[in-house]
Amino acid sequence: MTVRDTLGRPLHDLRISVTDRCNFRCTYCMPKEVFGRDFAFLERAELLSFEEIARVTRVFAGHGVGKVRLTGGEPLLRRDLERLVEKLAAIEGIEDIALTTNGSLLTREKARVLKDAGLRRVTVSLDSLDDAVFRRMNDVDFPVARVLEAIDAAADAGLGPVKIDVVVKRGMNDGGIIELARRFRGTPHILRFIEYMDVGNSNGWRMEDVVSGREIVEMLQREWPLVPADRNYFGEVAERWVYADGGGEVGVITSVTQPFCGSCTRARLAADGKLYLCLFAAIGHDLRALLRGGATDEELSRAIGSVWSRRGDRYSEIRSEATPGLRKVEMSHIGG
């Protein structure tokens, strides 16, 4: 039975973080000066097991969830992730399983194994085609060529069209927007430019660093005519555009300048089993304690339904100069 929150938003999407660890140190997400060698990541026993994740997902499916996205951290750091995919694919009601990755560990073999297990789609983060800029942004000297290989591997395994997410920060990678668009025009892949957000507490976010979605679209339109496209479904976050000459699709995600809280259908399950109702949430609801405390599926279902039905989160709609200073869960803990 579909449950709705206080604003009438249904629960339809579940984002599952399988690890809080990442092998990149992107400055807008996990800056090295905060997430350094001494940072206390979750211990293995604190992570939900694949069996626990599958059980929770089955309960979420009973509330109307049909789409699952695996995130991190970097989810491919979680060993044998295909085992989890296989378990999720067997759940009645789950129609779509996707993965968001930085691409560093997405080999051709891994892509095939994940596809065979039931993974449907992949989103790859790629903030620049300029190797020097990309290495500076991931801050671990990882080459852009390896990520491009991962995109090809995903597509060849049947995990396409691949969505390619670009977080745009003024003065850092905004000079490469046209180059990225040119690279993926004429391919089945869907490039999505994301406004730099005030996620977590450590990325030093400032409004002046945001390149608005409108500015990005205008920049693209000076090169190629664009035609607006309808959203694929209620709750889709990207504003979709297609090239007038048939060169494919591009999108912008404008959670800063044009918030879409009113249609947000996403719940987020952190790697430690806490349920968050917003990307910018401060407080999680502990499902792991219920799982490991002997709760029945019916008790889990009541807890999830109760939490969602009280949901009133709309952080991006009420964002002000003061809100970025509020304590929030780190994005690396609950995924994007």
In the β-sheet with 249-253, what is the strand arrangement from edge to edge?
226-228, 239-243, 249-253, 190-195, 163-168, 121-125, 96-101, 67-71, 13-17, 266-269, 274-276, 285-286
Confidence of residue 279 (pLDDT cuts 50, 70, 90): confident
- Quote the CA–CA distance of 94 and 13 in Å, as a whole number: 10
Q: What pLDDT is attached to residue 28? A: 84
Average pLDDT of the segment spanning 308-313: 91
Q: What pLDDT is attached to residue 2? A: 81
In terms of pLDDT, which residue wins out, 336 or 71?
71
- Quote the CA–CA distance of 235 and 49 in Å, as a whole number: 29
Average pLDDT of the segment spanning 90-110: 98
Q: Is 4 helix (H, G, I), strand (E, B) or coil?
A: strand
What would the CATH number be for the domain defined by 13-334?
3.20.20.70
CA atoms within 13 A on the CB side of 316: 20
- The answer to whether the CB of 79 falls within 8 A of the CB of 59 is no
Q: Which helix (H) or strand (E) holds 191?
A: strand 190-195
pLDDT at 238 over 90: no
Q: What pLDDT is attached to residue 163? A: 98
Per-residue pLDDT tens for 160-202?
899 999 999 999 999 999 999 999 999 999 999 999 987 655 5
Average pLDDT of the segment spanning 218-240: 89
Per-residue pLDDT tens for 17-68?
999 999 999 988 888 988 998 899 999 999 999 999 999 999 999 999 999 9
Please name the residue that has the structure tokens 């507490």.
Answer: 201
Using alpha carbons, select from 174, 167, 107, 109 the residue that is nearest to residue 138.
Answer: 167
**Whole-number percent of the chain with pLDDT over 70:** 91
- The answer to whether the CB of 169 falls within 8 A of the CB of 196 is yes
User: What is the identity of the amino acid at 57?
Assistant: T
Q: What pLDDT is attached to residue 200? A: 56
β pairing state of 121-125 and 163-168 = parallel
Q: What is the torsional sign of CA 123, 124, 129, 130?
A: positive
Q: What pLDDT is attached to residue 58? A: 98
Average pLDDT of the segment spanning 102-117: 98
**Whole-number percent of the chain with pLDDT over 90:** 76
